[in-house]
């Protein structure tokens, strides 16, 4: 048994791992993984208890981070790296004839997130622990995640992500900390002793059971945790009357409805039942999390220390999904702790902060009042009161009808969650410099005019421990040799790589590591898709959620254009290319699903052509996740970041590519702007309209994509190929994309930016041909990546928003 941190030394761990694994040497790899995971989990739980004891004894302020997603990825190797024992454990396994990488493959990718939002939350939790910030992530324990993506005949097919099929070794159920969440019913109002009181009655109860997953900070000194909530019936029962008459579905209906709350991430909300479930999920994890916070706070400080709460606790809401933290906290303070409104409001609004992650109107959540009120009647009463008081404040500040129309919470029969978040938070931040300016000048312009002090920018970052140290060990060894030890703890030291940007020997080693990573990815592609790609070709990569504003179809049209050009001229003077796509489309997003089919049909067209396939190949890697992302980022040469300027809040994939030496081809959107500022114009290639130009063109109505298609024969031919039978033998024409580009006037300016994009790509091709120049650009991207570490981001949150101390 472990007795302290001093025993968790590498040599000791090596011998202990060998002793444990010798006892199961005749078992399966899964059983060996479970044995090793159990050993690490035991120590991790001990250190977790030490962290809790430290926080209680010192009274350190605690951060609670609410997010619908935590895309944490596989954890075994992450834990070993952060404990500083990966290499020693790997050596010990090798001496037993085992391979650490093979054992790590036995661990599932937890189905707890989808894209950038969830991965960002996971990176932030990693950085909090590594910086010694005491924190807990609040989320949902999804039984089947989002979905497992399969590609069949080029189409996305959604299958359940059964990541909990085997016991998850890192989670620790805490049934003793369960809380009850109420839905539906009505509110009984009464005057008692001259004070109006509220009692929620006739509700349906859901038991929220927490499962804790450790988050180990680098160096193993701080172990925080994710608290993931599972919805289960409060009582283990069935409808016996329905069961006895043979109506088994009805007998289990209530149980099934409750368990569905924590079943799937982002259920399809294109129907009424899906929207109800989405809102239930949001209230479920918020209510459970807020109750847990209050229970712990009162257990430590009692029920008369609420004035000190903001000095002891920070509550952060990651986008609008946790917006209900505000009215739920007020409900607890008003109805359970018997505080007056003004006191409760002051405590709640000085404790809660809000990060906005989007400028897209459809992503700024709005819920029908009727639905909201039926599910959460007491919470809705509180929201009404917040809205009433806000309207009074707007009038007092000289606001008019237009101000109210843009800032009120309740409007046109809807509850506007983003507005509630801005009104009820002490801080409102964007996630890139450009995005934060757009919030102030457009999305929340009236709020900014009324409350400018709330708004600030915190440019996103990613965990270099996950996406560089864990993903690219070859490059890590080269960096160690070049800049010396200590850079993992202090990433700005990586800037010393700049000294080697023109060193031929260093560039040769840098390129050799890149090629090794490309060989590794090529093998993965062959094993998963059957497509053979050349690791000596240029790996041009776009991996992210499939969405019209991210413009995967712009990339695909460029490739279709290349196909046409190579057919006309087989000796077209370009490098050989492998174009790699990956990403999931939302279940109900028809256009995004059609884009996936288009890419796969294009891949079939290109790869089956004996002439074209000698120059270019196209691959769609199915089921994009953290684990295959860790293969993709280190192998990439060109990072395609081509969203419509002004639409991407930040993007974090661009940062992961950059850390691993890929060169960005992108618009001046999101974090691309700051990548350009950090690496310099000579180490990035930019194209297309600026955000201001795109916004002005959209407002003026001066853009006509159909006219552009008629006037530009090259563009006209490409759009005609979508529907003229070019792809019909491969399953279908692409009328949805065609209509989006022409009949719906190309909302995201794909055709408008096409010429600029192709010209920029051709500049990239020319730059790649100069191997010394390209090598220098790659090194500079890695050397200047420290700004995009989540450690820097979290330090800013800690200093300027949460006001907590850190390393």
Catalytic residue among 652, 664, 782, 793: 652
Residue 200, SS3?
A: strand
Report how far residue 297's alpha carbon sits from residue 309's, in angstroms, rounded to the nearest whole number: 8
Can you say whether the dihedral through the CA atoms of 99, 101, 104, 106 is positive or negative? negative
Q: Is 14 a catalytic residue?
A: no
Q: Is 458 a catalytic residue?
A: no
Structural tokens at position 289 = 């999390």
Q: Is 567 a catalytic residue?
A: no
CB 99 within 8 A of CB 56: no
CB 641 within 8 A of CB 669: yes
Catalytic residue among 182, 357, 551, 752: 357
Cα 443 to the center of its chain, rounded Å: 22
Catalytic residue among 143, 321, 465, 545: 545
Q: Which residue spans within 5-134 are E strands per DSSP?
A: 62-66
Catalytic residue among 43, 62, 200, 656: 656
Catalytic residue among 32, 62, 435, 544: 544
Count of alpha carbons within 13 angstroms of residue 689, beta-carbon side = 20
Report how far residue 214's alpha carbon sits from residue 48's, in angstroms, rounded to the nearest whole number: 7
**Closest by CA position to 18, among listed 101, 97, 96, 85:** 96
Q: Is 545 a catalytic residue?
A: yes
Can you say whether the dihedral through the CA atoms of 69, 73, 74, 77 is positive or negative? negative
Q: Is 558 a catalytic residue?
A: no
Q: Is 792 a catalytic residue?
A: no
Cα 89 to the center of its chain, rounded Å: 30
Please state at what angle helix 750-769 crosses helix 713-721, rounded to 10 degrees: 100
**Closest by CA position to 417, among listed 346, 369, 452:** 369
Report how far residue 573's alpha carbon sits from residue 571's, in angstroms, rounded to the nearest whole number: 6
The Cβ of residue 11 has, within 10 Å, a number of other Cβ atoms equal to 10
Catalytic residue among 227, 458, 465, 550: 550
Report H helices in 227-320: 240-244, 248-251, 253-259, 272-301, 309-312
Report how far residue 637's alpha carbon sits from residue 665's, in angstroms, rounded to the nearest whole number: 10
Helices (H) and strands (E) counted in the chain, each on its own, are 34, 23
Q: Give the C-alpha distances (Å, rounded to integers) separating 487 from 119, 342, 506, 531, 724.
A: 23, 48, 18, 38, 55
Catalytic residue numbers, as ranges: 357, 544-545, 550, 652, 656
């Amino acid at each position: 048994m472990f007795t302290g941190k001093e025993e968790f030394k590498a040599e000791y761990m090596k011998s202990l791992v060998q002793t444990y694994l010798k006892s199961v040497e005749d078992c399966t790899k899964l059983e060996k993984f479970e044995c090793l995971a159990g050993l690490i989990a035991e120590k991790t739980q001990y250190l977790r208890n030490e962290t809790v004891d430290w926080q209680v004894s010192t009274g350190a302020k605690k951060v609670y981070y609410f997010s619908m997603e935590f895309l944490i990825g596989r954890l075994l190797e992450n834990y070993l790296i952060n404990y500083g024992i990966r290499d020693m454990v790997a050596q010990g396994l090798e001496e037993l004839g085992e391979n650490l990488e093979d054992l790590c493959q036995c661990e599932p990718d937890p189905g707890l997130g989808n894209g950038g939002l969830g991965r960002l939350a996971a990176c932030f939790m990693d950085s909090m622990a590594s910086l010694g910030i005491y924190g807990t992530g609040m989320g949902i324990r999804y039984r089947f995640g989002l979905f497992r993506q399969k590609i069949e005949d080029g189409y996305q097919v959604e299958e359940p992500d059964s990541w909990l099929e085997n016991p998850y070794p890192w989670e620790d159920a805490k049934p003793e900390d369960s809380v009850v969440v109420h839905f539906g019913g009505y509110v009984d109002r009464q005057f008692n002793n001259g004070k109006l009181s509220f009692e929620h009655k006739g509700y349906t109860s859901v038991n929220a059971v927490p499962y804790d997953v450790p988050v180990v900070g680098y160096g193993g000194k701080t172990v925080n945790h994710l608290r993931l909530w599972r919805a289960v019936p409060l009582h283990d029962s069935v409808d016996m009357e329905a069961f006895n008459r043979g109506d088994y579905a009805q007998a289990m209906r209530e149980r099934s409805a409750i368990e569905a709350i924590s079943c799937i991430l982002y259920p399809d909300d294109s129907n009424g039942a899906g929207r109800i479930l989405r809102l239930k999920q949001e209230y479920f994890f918020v209510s459970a999390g807020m109750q847990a916070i209050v229970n712990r706070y009162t257990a430590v400080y009692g029920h008369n220390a609420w004035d000190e709460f903001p000095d002891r606790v920070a509550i952060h809401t990651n986008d609008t999904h946790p917006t209900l933290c505000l009215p739920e906290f007020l409900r607890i303070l008003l109805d359970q702790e018997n505080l007056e409104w003004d006191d409760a409001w002051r405590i709640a609004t000085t404790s809660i902060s809000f990060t906005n992650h989007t400028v897209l109107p459809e992503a700024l959540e709005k819920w029908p009042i009727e639905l909201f009120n039926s599910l959460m009647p007491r919470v809705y009463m509180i929201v009404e009161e917040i809205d009433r008081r806000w309207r009074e404040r707007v009038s007092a500040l000289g606001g008019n009808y237009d101000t109210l129309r843009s800032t009120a919470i309740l409007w046109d029969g809807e509850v506007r969650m983003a507005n509630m978040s801005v009104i009820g938070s002490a801080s409102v931040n964007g996630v890139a410099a450009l995005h934060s300016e757009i919030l102030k000048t457009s999305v929340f312009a009236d709020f900014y005019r009324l409350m400018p002090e709330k708004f600030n920018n915190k440019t996103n970052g990613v965990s270099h421990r996950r996406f560089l140290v864990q993903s690219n060990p070859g490059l890590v060894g080269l960096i160690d040799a070049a800049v010396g030890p200590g850079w993992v703890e202090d990433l700005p030291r990586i800037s010393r790589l700049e000294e080697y940007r023109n060193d031929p020997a260093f560039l040769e080693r840098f390129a050799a590591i890149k090629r090794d990573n490309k060989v590794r990815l090529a093998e993965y592609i062959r094993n998963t898709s059957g497509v053979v790609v050349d690791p000596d070709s240029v790996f041009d990569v776009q991996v992210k959620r499939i969405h019209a504003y991210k413009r995967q179809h712009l990339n695909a049209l460029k490739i279709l254009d290349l196909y046409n050009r190579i057919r006309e001229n087989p000796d077209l003077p370009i490098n050989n290319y492998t174009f790699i796509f990956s990403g999931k489309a939302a279940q109900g997003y028809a256009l995004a699903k059609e884009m996936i089919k288009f890419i796969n049909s294009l891949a079939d067209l290109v790869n089956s052509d004996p002439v074209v396939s000698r120059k270019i190949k196209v691959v769609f890697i199915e089921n994009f996740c953290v684990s295959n992302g860790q293969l993709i980022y280190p192998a990439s040469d060109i990072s395609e970041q081509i969203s419509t300027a002004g639409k991407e809040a930040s993007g974090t994939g661009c940062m992961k590519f950059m850390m691993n030496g890929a060169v960005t081809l992108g618009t001046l959107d999101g974090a691309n702007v700051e990548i350009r500022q950090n690496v310099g114009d000579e180490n990035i290639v930019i194209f297309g309209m600026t955000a201001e130009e795109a916004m002005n063109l959209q407002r003026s109505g001066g853009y006509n994509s159909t006219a552009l298609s008629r006037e530009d024969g090259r563009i006209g031919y490409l759009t005609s190929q979508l529907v003229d039978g070019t792809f019909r033998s491969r399953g279908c024409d692409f009328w949805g994309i065609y209509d989006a580009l022409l009949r719906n006037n190309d909302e995201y300016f794909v055709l408008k930016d096409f010429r600029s994009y192709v010209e920029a790509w051709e500049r990239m091709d020319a730059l790649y041909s100069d191997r010394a120049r390209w090598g220098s650009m790659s090194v500079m991207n890695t050397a200047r990546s420290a700004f995009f570490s989540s450690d820097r981001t979290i330090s800013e949150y800690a200093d300027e928003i949460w006001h907590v101390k850190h390393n």
